[in-house]
Structure 1
Amino acid sequence: VFNRPSRLERHKRTHTKQPRVPHQCSYCMKTFRKLNKLIRHKRMHTGEKPFTCSVCGKGFSESATFSRNASLTKHRRTHTGERPYLCLICGCRFKWSHSLSRHRRSHAHRQMCYPCTVCGKIFDRPSKLERHKPVHTRKPKTLHNCEHCNKSFTQQEKLIRHRNCHSRTNKHPCPDCGKVFNRPSKLERHKRTHTKQPRVPHQCSYCMKTFSKLNKLIRHKRMHTGEKPFTCSVCGKGFSESGHCKAHEKTHEEQPEKPHSCADCGMCFFKASELRRHFRSHTGEKPFKCTLCESCFSRSEGLKRHMRSHTGERPYKCIICGKQFYSRQDLNIHGLTHTGEKPHLCPVCGKGFSQLGNMKEHEQNVHIKSEKYICNECGATFTRYKSLTKHRRTHTGERPYLCLTCGRRFSWSHSLSRHRRSHAHRQMAGDTSKEMLSFEGPSENPDSLLCSQFTVMTCGVVSV
């Protein structure tokens, strides 16, 4: 029995038409009703990946958005930042459907309360309560401190192995080149460099940087493509390296263990390296110095980012407009110009800005209008210390921006950028003149020779 005549007519055709011949897989003998499903299934056996990402070149077996395993479509969101899944309750957007499903459960869980029977602390999820319970039962870890330095270890064996680095002396020289090592194992590993064949370096196709190992090249390429294959199991945040992902997952614990504490402010950290880097904020130490100018930095990341202002390297490229930037932070801020997002709101008038510095500058110049920084030479006043620093160059004649091609120095970064373009134009003009001379060939006619010289002179003129 059918409730519609159209369904009855469609059902009648099933009694008259011929049965379909199923399409069978030659590998596992599984049958499919449609040929396209069989073709898609066979890729699982052959490993064929006909659909490639146009940005990073990674291959996938599925591409259609309506497909159940639309791997290429999902992968493209890592480059474009697209978030098609919208939460109708709070308006948050997500890249993946499972992230939206997990987020929806958080709205339902917020209405529930799960108190701890020991300390009375309340949680919105039973899983968080179970993760919290071992806090009351586990014993605090004993830290073993080194008497020679400030390092501490959770295991006695690691402390004993660390103490050897204080008593060890460089007494293992290489008989071939004379280089001295502090461990016999390092000396044996070094000896193999004199006998083995030189390795073929692996080159990055984006910045032409070479690496001795393939896994280092793969990890380096993620800096250009923005790929983050390691995701946090709690919040879904992506990372380019597994070590960074594991360190981030510890922050979701109710009381994460941070054994390294600062003696000045009491802040605690997961790693001793994070504590040493933090301690520079108290001492003001800046051990990383630029070899081309007098700039110093407290972190190595700051020096690497600063060196790109001298070399002109811009490894971070916008996939929408093609504009390149020195750092990933500048690329992320630039991406807001395409999305139209303005997360920073002025507390006085409510005007939105894509960058925090622009919002503070607007608040200072429009609402406060206070002139704090005064030049001692000419008395000019500025609302920003950075503007005063740039202004002082007009008195001191400082030129911190160096051209690595000809050695000229400039007071402003935009002057150096304009000057670099002049070298590029001269090189292009020289190549053009060589091509024209080779095309004309030698000539004994003085008029033709004069004409060719005039052509070279004309092509050699460059407007800077």
Structure 2
Amino acid sequence: MENHLGENHRRCTLQKRNVTRELKKGKHTMYALKRVKKIYIRVHEITQIDNQTYQCLEREQNFCENLARMCERTYTEEKPYRCDMCEKTFIQSSDLISHQRIHNYEKPYKCSKCEKSFWHHLALSGHQRTHAGKKFYTCDICGKNFGQSSDLLVHQRSHTGEKPYLCNECDKCFSRSTNLIRHRRTHTGEKPFKCLECEKAFSGKSDLISHQRTHTGERPYKCNKCEKSYRHRSAFIVHKRVHTGEKPYKCGACEKCFGQKSDLIVHQRVHTGEKPYKCLECMRSFTRSANLIRHQATHTHTFKCLEYEKSFNCSSDFIVHQRIHMEEKPHQWSMCESDFLLGMDFVAQQKMRAQTEELHYKYSVCDKTFHHSSALLQHQTVHIDDEYICNMSEKGLDLSSHASETSRVS
């Protein structure tokens, strides 16, 4: 015991404080108080000897020595334990062992109520509070509550914009270490999560779970406003904003707001002029990936008619063309029992019937009248080469000289 009494006064060389005395007062570093006091005393069955010296009865390890050493590392930022997978470093070997479970997809700590698994026992403890309804950690900025201090820490980064996890390949940053690990798989091509139904592989477990719902038909996220349901939680969150009118993403240039972050990103390209999606055939660029995909069809003529060997760039044009063969006219108006091949023709007919029988647009050359100015302009194209014979007047006229005589009937 004399050796312990000699070691119990070891001081933190940077702070010049007696470690054991400050630990008892609870005034030393948060790291020493939370990590050392809780973990060492609980796990290694440390007991207090002579009210000053702590010793691990299981390993006969001097507690003061380890506490002082760990305290010094919090100030010197010394982290001697390094992960071979992601180069992350740790102060304690136990932290490294827990971290490596992320790479090995090992989650030995299982919740008895929902069978959810975790890679660290502290994560399990925090999760169990959700069943008890306990949320001890509150964000002082927005007042949101969390069951785990780690969740609060990650949440606060949404306010500060902090992204401490950096990808060494592309310099992209993340607020969560798990997001960085998942992102790195885009560089390595690793897809460790495989669907047992169709053998399709995914880089993230959440992607696999969402994909499996396409086989099971499960839609666990249900809206209590309109009873719509979704496979993905993210899609459900976006949908709820339709009812609430919430648009949390604001453009810094024009202050226009959007319900989805992706819509804001696309909109901001209007201000920056960025067109990141480039066609490799003609080097034309686009602001949206959907526009690029549609454009690429102009090079491949993706949609082909089997009867006439005619090709179309857009699926909508192909569908309309097929109706010609089937003599299908899906747009019907009950007022005049007319059928229309195209929806836009149907809409135009409705507008025409909604107007009075008076013909508003008159062409003074031949006195023909029309419901729409577009119909009048189309009629003028009949008179080609600037010389024509009007069927009604049989006069030879110069179109350009009578262009000004077109007027609207009052």
TM-score (norm 2): 0.38
More strand by share: 2
**Higher alpha-carbon Rg:** 2
TM-score after normalising by structure 1: 0.35
Q: Which has the higher contact order (CA 8 A, sep 6+)?
A: 1
